C-alpha cells in the first residue's frame, strides 16, 4: 500500500527500482545515478562518452552498486529505442527514466557572435538534436515500456533557461529547454491515465563539465553566482534529494507535469545585490 509506512526512509525508498539515466557519466546525470544506485536501485547508465561512462560505472560498482553502462547517443531515435527495449527486456521492466543528457553550444547574447543575427546554425541544430529531440526520443522509448506496464516515472532535465531568459546561453539551448518544459507537461497529460508520472527538474548553475574547461573559470563562476539569490553555484549532489523525491515509488505519487526548480532562487528574480543601493527617497 502506498504510504503505509510513514517513515522518511520508506517514503523515499528506491531499493530494487529499475532506473535508467541518460548523460549519466558526468555532472548531474552521475549524481542522479549515484543517489539511486547507492540506495539500492538497479541503474543503467547511458552516455555517449565511452571513457567517462566506463569510469562512472566502475566508481559505482566499486561501492557495491548494481549498475551497467551502455553507450548511447540520445540524438539517434533508433538507438534510443533499441537501448531502452534491451534494458526493459533484461530487467523485466523499467520504473524510472531520467532524460538528462545535454550539451551547450553557441554563444550567449551577451557577446556579439551570440546575437540573434549571428547565431550559429550548426550549433543551434546540434543543441536541438540532443537537448530537445533527444529528450523526446527518450520519453518516447520510456513510454513504450511504461504505458504497457501501467506504471513509471519519467524525469527530464530542463533548466532555469527553459523558464526564463538567460543572457549567457545560446539560442539553441534556450529554445531546447523551453521546449523540454512543455514537452514534459504534454507527456504528463498523455500518460496520466496509465499511471506514468512525468516531471522536470530545472537546475540553476551547477559545477559540471557542461561549460567545458571554462566551467571552473573564476570569472564564469562569478557571473553565475551573481545571478543566484543564494549567491553561489551548486554541487551536483545538491540535486539528489529531488531525484529521490521524483523517482521513489512511494514519494510524489500525486505529482505530474511539474517543473521543479533547483536553482538557489534564480527564478524568483535577481539577487538584491544586483540592484544599486536605494537612494534616500526610497527609504521611508
Ligand X SMILES: NC(=O)c1ccc[n+]([C@@H]2O[C@H](COP(=O)([O-])OP(=O)(O)OC[C@H]3O[C@@H](n4cnc5c(N)ncnc54)[C@H](O)[C@@H]3O)[C@@H](O)[C@H]2O)c1
**Residues interacting with ligand X, by CB under 6 A?**
22-23, 25-29, 47-49, 52, 72-75, 100-103, 130-131, 134, 157, 159, 203, 205-206, 208-210
What would the grid cell of residue 273 be?
545585490
> Closer to ligand X at the Cβ: 185 or 209?
209
Question: Has 207 been annotated as catalytic?
Answer: no
Grid cell of 261 as nine digits: 526548480
C-alpha cell at 97: 527514466
Where are the alpha helices (H) located in 38-170, listed in sequence order?
Answer: 50-61, 77-91, 121-127, 134-149
Q: Which is nearer to ligand X, 153 or 177 (CB)?
A: 177
Is the CB of 114 or the CB of 134 nearer to ligand X? 134
Non-local (6+) Cβ contacts of 236 within 8 A are 27, 28, 30, 31, 206, 207, 208
Q: Closer to ligand X at the Cβ: 11 or 139?
A: 139
> Minimum distance between the CB of residue 210 and ligand X, rounded to whole angstroms?
3
User: Among 124, 171, 173, 207, which one carries the catalytic annotation?
Assistant: 173
CB of 29 to ligand X, least distance (A): 5
Q: Are the CB atoms for 31 and 23 separated by under 8 Å? A: no
3-state DSSP assignment of residue 89:
helix
CB of 24 to ligand X, least distance (A): 7
Element (DSSP H or E) covering residue 262: strand 259-262
- Angstrom distance (rounded) from CA 228 to CA 248: 29
Minimal distance, residue 32 CB to ligand X, in Å: 9
Q: Smallest gap, in angstroms, from Cβ of residue 10 to ligand X?
A: 29
Which runs of E-coded beta strand occur in 96-205?
96-99, 152-157, 196-203
Nearer to ligand X, 126 or 195 (CB): 126
Please list the active-site residues.
173
Amino acid at each position: 500500500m502506498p504510504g503505509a509506512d510513514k517513515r522518511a526512509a520508506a517514503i523515499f525508498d528506491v531499493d530494487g527500482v529499475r532506473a535508467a539515466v541518460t548523460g549519466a557519466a558526468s555532472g548531474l546525470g552521475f549524481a542522479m545515478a549515484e543517489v539511486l544506485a547507492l540506495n539500492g536501485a538497479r541503474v543503467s547508465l547511458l552516455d555517449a562518452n565511452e571513457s567517462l561512462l566506463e569510469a562512472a560505472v566502475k566508481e559505482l560498482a566499486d561501492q557495491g552498486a548494481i549498475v551497467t553502462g551502455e553507450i548511447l547517443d540520445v540524438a539517434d531515435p533508433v538507438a534510443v529505442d533499441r537501448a531502452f527495449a534491451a534494458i526493459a527486456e533484461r530487467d523485466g521492466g523499467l520504473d524510472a527514466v531520467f532524460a538528462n543528457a545535454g550539451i551547450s553550444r553557441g554563444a550567449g547574447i551577451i557577446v556579439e557572435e551570440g546575437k540573434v543575427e549571428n547565431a550559429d546554425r550548426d550549433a543551434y541544430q546540434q543543441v536541438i538534436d540532443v537537448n530537445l529531440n533527444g529528450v523526446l526520443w527518450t520519453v518516447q522509448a520510456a513510454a513504450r515500456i511504461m504505458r504497457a506496464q501501467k506504471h513509471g516515472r519519467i524525469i527530464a532535465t530542463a533548466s532555469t533557461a527553459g523558464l526564463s531568459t538567460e543572457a549567457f546561453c545560446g539560442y539553441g539551448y534556450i529554445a531546447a529547454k523551453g521546449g523540454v518544459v512543455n514537452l514534459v507537461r504534454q507527456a504528463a497529460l498523455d500518460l496520466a491515465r496509465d499511471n506514468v508520472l512525468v516531471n522536470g527538474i530545472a537546475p540553476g548553475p551547477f559545477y559540471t563539465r557542461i561549460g567545458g574547461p571554462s566551467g571552473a573559470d573564476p570569472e564564469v563562476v562569478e557571473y553565475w553566482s551573481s545571478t543566484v539569490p543564494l549567491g553561489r553555484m551548486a554541487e551536483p549532489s545538491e540535486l539528489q534529494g529531488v531525484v529521490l523525491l521524483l523517482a521513489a515509488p512511494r514519494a510524489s505519487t500525486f505529482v505530474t507535469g511539474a517543473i521543479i526548480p533547483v536553482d538557489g532562487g534564480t527564478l524568483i528574480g535577481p539577487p538584491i545585490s544586483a540592484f544599486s543601493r536605494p537612494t534616500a527617497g526610497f527609504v521611508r
